Every structure is written in structure tokens, then in C-alpha cells.
Amino acid sequence: MTRQTVKDALKDTLDEVLDNAVGRAGGVPGVVAMITDREGNIYEGAAGVRELGKETPMSTDTVFALFSTTKAITGTALMQLVEEGKVRLDDPVKKYVPEIAEIKVLEGFDADGQPKLREPRTDITIDMLMLHTAGFGYEFFSHEDRKYREKKGVPSILTSTFDSIKSVLLFEPGERWNYGVNIDWVGKVVEAVCGKRLGEVMAERIFAPLGMTDIGFTLTPSMMERRATIHTRAQDGNITPQPDLILPQSPEMDMGGHGLYASIGEYMKFIRMILNDGEGVLKPETVAQMSQNGLGELKSGGWISSDPSLANDGEFYPGVQKSWAYTFQVNEDPTPTGRPAGQLMWAGLANLFYWIDRKNGIGGFWASQIFPFQDVASYLGFIEFESAVYRTLNRFGQIDT
């Protein structure tokens, strides 16, 4: 079985999946999707347009706001420092970023709607941030965090400011898993240790070794020209382009949790690095550590929306046990799409989804730019895409499920 035969079969199948995601009633405006093995990309596809109402077609070099798919790259920068002995995962974060000691635990709101706060009994460690067990939330996934921000005038994280992550702890550090601004704080740790902006650290220590050039917290003129517009889907299904919806350029803070822009081919280089056990960026034993459940008996699950314009309620693969690693979700059971147990994935707010199957040496990325998260058309397209990949590779005896 030649590699080209597999690539041809994937192209025939996956082009149709992309076309369906765009062409069906209420479909997504545009999508770019790619698959890589350990050697290189074995599928690259694009369908639809960069902005509804304009003629520019979506192309494989289109630039996307990566949102939370930024997190794993920030986690990689931190793990490099762990390898070098410059930080320990059990270090208290306040050792590097003293401001975190000012964050209190929220115990509800009084009769006047004012937050009731107490000091945490436990220091937040780097490990807790990496595993999302520190107590932080997101304003669009937590009614409490949203209400606290409104009462205290804490800016939205989309402002890309340090003040935007100085919110509140929703529970005692270490108590449970909850998705939030943790990795933005990890980025501040990286900056404190390296004495540089997070973007500079990534450029020197991750992007350069992997040949990633079309990526950054600030868009170059070329990237700006190729940027896909974010769209919003209203409750009635109508889709509206939001051409002015863009993260601050240049940002006050390089947001390690969500701030990168890139073309998807650049992210595939990062996925290949993980598939290839670190490939000049990390040690193989570090990648193995980053690929394992770090939560013990705790689990990572779904989310509730506190802002329907940005996110729907949801969960990936309901019924599949899921844990968390540094910093990926791990499916502890096989997924209905065909991914074997123990593999990695995560997503970005504007309906970007990736997975990394280290067992089979396969990784995929599905990228769109539409709110709210877990969009009815884009998320369905991603599920069909991953399913079609495993079905096709299985047909050619290329995978072990």
C-alpha cells in the first residue's frame, strides 16, 4: 500500500465531508482541515469562503484565531523549563507571579449581589494550572465568574490584558477540574522565568526549531490579508460576519490560553512534534508525561454556557470517560469516531478542533471561525471528518483501534 494511495483515498472522502459541512442548510461559512502522519501532511483541504458575502475562497493558507488550541503550545514552553530544572510542577505559582496570591475564593453572593470572598487555604501550584484544577473559570463557561466580573469590573479575557485573568477562584485550589484562565497564568510563569514576552519565548524555543513562521500573537501584514472573519450564528440560525472581531493588535499581554493566530499548516508541525516524541523541542519522556492523565480520580467533562453568543452547553463524546494531561484532554475510552483510548485532543472557541493519536501516528485539525462554540454545523463536520479519517485508514489497514 503506497502512501500516495492512502492520500488519494483520504482526499476523495474528506473533500466531500468539507463540502457537506459548508453546503448543507445552515452550514459553516468556511473550513480548513488537515491530517498528518509522523512524516508530513497526508490531507489538506479547504471549502467555503473566508467571509460570507464576499468571494474570497477559504484556502489552506488562511489564517485563523486559534483560541484555546494555543494552550498546548504554552504548556510545551512550560515543560521545556521543567526539563531544564528552571521550574518544578509542584512550585507555588506566587514564587514567579506574585499577583496570583491576591486571588480569592468565591463563596457566593450576598443579598445585595456582592461577592463573598475568602482566602484560599492552599497555594496554587503550576501543576494545578496545567491541569485546570486551580479553581479558575471562564466568563462564558461560568455564571459565577461572569457575575463576579460584572460586579468588580474585571475586563473580558478577549481584551488580552493581565487584569482580565485576575478574576476569582470558584473553589479551593486542587479540589476539582474546571476549565478556565489557568494557562494564561502559565504563560506569565514562562515570561517571569525567561524574562521575555511569551511570543518571543515561543518563537525562539518552539516555532524556530519546528519551522513554524506563519504564527504569532500579533498578525503580520501578510497574515492580516489572509485572515478568516469570525461569524456569529444567532438562535434562529442566521449567520452574520463580524469582520471587526479581532483580538487586540498588538496585545498588552500575550495570552497563553487563547491568543495565537496561525495558518493550520503551521499547527500541524506542532502536532507532528508530539507524534514524533518531541522532535528537537521536548524529550520523549516529557511528551509521554504530557500525554497521560494527571487528574488521578478526577475527571474532565463538559461545560455549561453563561454566554449563549459565545458558547453552547456541551461535552465531547458524552459517555466517554475523559481526563486531562499537560495540556490536552485524554479520552480514556475509545471514541465513537474510531480514535483509540488514551489519545489527546482539544479545541478553540470559534469551533476549531484537533486530535493527536500517538498510538497510530495520526493527528488532525478542523478549523472554522464561528461562534457560539460547538456550533451545530462545524462540530458535526468535525465529528464526520474524524470518523471518515479512521474509516478510510482502517480500510487500508493503516491503523490499530
| Catalytic hit among 43, 148, 179, 261 | 179
Residue 138: active-site member: no
> Among all chains, which residue has been given the C-alpha cell 461572569?
146
Q: CA–CA separation, 75 vs 328, rounded Å?
A: 9
Residue 179: active-site member: yes
With residue 393 as reference, give the H or E element that holds it. helix 376-395
Q: CA–CA separation, 102 vs 120, rounded Å?
A: 10
Residue 71: active-site member: yes
Q: CA–CA separation, 262 vs 190, rounded Å?
A: 21
Q: CA–CA separation, 379 vs 302, rounded Å?
A: 14
3-state secondary structure labels for all residues of 86-111: CCCCCCEHHHCCHHHHHCCEEEEECC
Q: Name the nearest CA neighbour of 292 among 328, 257, 336, 345.
A: 328
Please spell the DSSP secondary structure of 167-200, one letter per residue: --BSS-TTSS---STHHHHHHHHHHHHHTS-HHH
The bridge status of strand 115-118 relative to strand 105-109 is antiparallel
Q: Which amino acid is at 25?
A: A
Residues 300, 363 contacting (CB under 8 angstroms): no
- Look up residue 65 and give its DSSP letter: E
Q: Which residues pair with 106 in a beta bridge?
A: 117
Residues 377, 292 contacting (CB under 8 angstroms): no
> Among all chains, which residue has been given the C-alpha cell 463536520?
381
Question: Cβ atoms within 10 A of the Cβ of 25, count?
Answer: 6
| Catalytic hit among 43, 68, 267, 326 | 68
| Catalytic hit among 43, 71, 300, 323 | 71
Residues 376, 235 contacting (CB under 8 angstroms): no
Q: CA–CA separation, 258 vs 286, rounded Å?
A: 23
Residues 28, 377 contacting (CB under 8 angstroms): yes
* CA 321 distance to own-chain centroid: 19
Q: Is 81 helix (H, G, I), strand (E, B) or coil?
A: helix
Catalytic residue annotation: 68, 71, 179
